[in-house]
Amino acid sequence: MDYDSIDTEIPALGDCKIESPLGRQEGAPFMRFVSDDERVVIDVRTRNLKERAAEGKSLPSFELAGPREKIYFDPSKLKCALVTCGGLCPGLNDIIRAIVFQLHHRYGVKNIFGIQYGLQGFVPEYEHDIIELTPKTVRNIHEMGGSILGSSRGPQSIAVIVDSLERMNIGILFMIGGDGTLMAATRIADEILKRNLKISVVSIPKTIDNDIHLVSRSFGFDTAVDLATQPLRGAHHEAEGYPNGIGLIKLMGRHSGFIAATATLAQQDVNFVLIPEVDFDIDGPNGLLASIEKRLKERKHAVVVVAEGAGQKFFKDQGDEVDDSGNVKLKDIGIYLKNAIAKHFAEKGINISIKYIDPSYMIRSLPANPNDRVFCSFLGRDAVHAGMAGKTKLLIGRWNNHFVHLPMTACAGKRKHINPSEKLWLSVLDSTGQGSLRNE
């Protein structure tokens, strides 16, 4: 990837002239403030250093996240809004809690509002109430799944959203969501800048699939992998318990197979993994069915994991439908494979016992695990630091073991995929021994 082409500058609403309260709170520990000059190098594999130095080129880098010594907003007069959009994901409530606690306890911001049911909450015709968020109202929400603010899908008028922000006199808008939300946040920030308003837009990337471009890890992913190992274990025991037993598990992953691949490596009871990034055939001498048949002859059982976005080529003749957000509705590859496997072995007169498991909605709606809770706390607090400093049109992400400010324009509309020639997928192949499932 050409990192030199990425514009890593973060827009700001204006000069920061207010002394941060973080450095003068009684009883508070020593505060290490972060300068805008502190950067995190994007590519740690430093190749062609001599050539770059001769050409006067510096290494591409991201701005380090963290508290600034001077801030833009006056906390005593500031109003903030939080909104969660798109599908549910473990950790949403942890993010909300971290933002509210940081704003209230550390910066002294008293006016914090929760927008209900995603971007619909800004549109008057839906008549959704606004929730006042305080440390008391969010104290225990990290123990709950889902989002206390609710969510929704589908586009809303950007002009109407910004009109609502103006009416509410919001200074910082925190948007928690995936790629569609990032694209909406970019348009909202552009409309705000077009109107010359002093509203900061800060996004926290949310995707259980871990597929946001330039974000090395998204919250909820660790929990998803943790929870996905349980049905994998169950499918393995079911498959082992019957002659010619087959366990088939469908996991999340619309465009990227990170959950399927990582859960497979965590559990290592899987024999075949199907992901969107790697093509496979069902029929033919090297296809999935023949490979499962060979496995049953050798070991009497098999476990197959499929990401929800894999194998969509088998539905081309059915046409595409879209959801309220404009995303193509995926056809159910899990049921398709279950039926194909059952038909194949029935035609061959081979008795099998197939168990199909789809834990997707259970996984995404449960509370975050401890690792994700800690991660969400960092993300939420750094989002507050960025907003208080008047930074806008950015998201908080993890890169090279540091939390950084990422420009929305560098991430929105782009996806991260598994590279079939790199370590993650090669390790999956080593673990499963599946080889190629193509007939070519």
**Cβ pair 9, 407 in contact under 8 A:** yes
Q: Contact, 161 vs 122, CB < 8 A?
A: yes
Q: Which of 20, 66, 172, 94 is nearest to 404 (CA)?
A: 66
- Location of structure tokens 């019957």: 242
Determine the Cα angle at 71 with ends 68 and 74, to 5°.
150
> 208-243 as b/e, with b when 16 or more CB fall inside 10 Å?
bbbbbbbbebbbbbbbbbbbbbebbebbbebbeebe
Q: Is 439 within 8 Å of 282 (Cβ atoms)?
A: no
Q: Which residue from 114, 239, 211, 221 is spatially nearest to 170, judged by alpha carbons?
A: 114
Contact 222, 350 (CB under 8 A): no
Catalytic residue among 209, 226, 281, 372: 209
- Residue 132, H or E segment: strand 130-132
- The question of whether 209 is a catalytic residue gets the answer yes
In sequence order, what E strands does 282-336 have?
301-307
Length of the chain: 440
Per-residue buried b or exposed e for 260-274, using 16+ beta carbons within 10 Å of the residue's own CB: bbbbbbebebbbbbb
* Residue 55 to residue 227: CA distance in whole angstroms: 50
Torsion of CA 185, 189, 194, 198, to 10 degrees: 150
- DSSP-derived pairing of the beta strands 272-274 and 111-115: unpaired
Q: Where are the alpha helices (DSSP H) in 258-331?
A: 258-267, 288-299
d(CA 202, CA 217): 18
End-to-end CA distance of the chain: 28
> Of all helices (H) and strands (E), which one includes residue 232?
helix 221-240
**Residues acting as catalytic residues:** 209
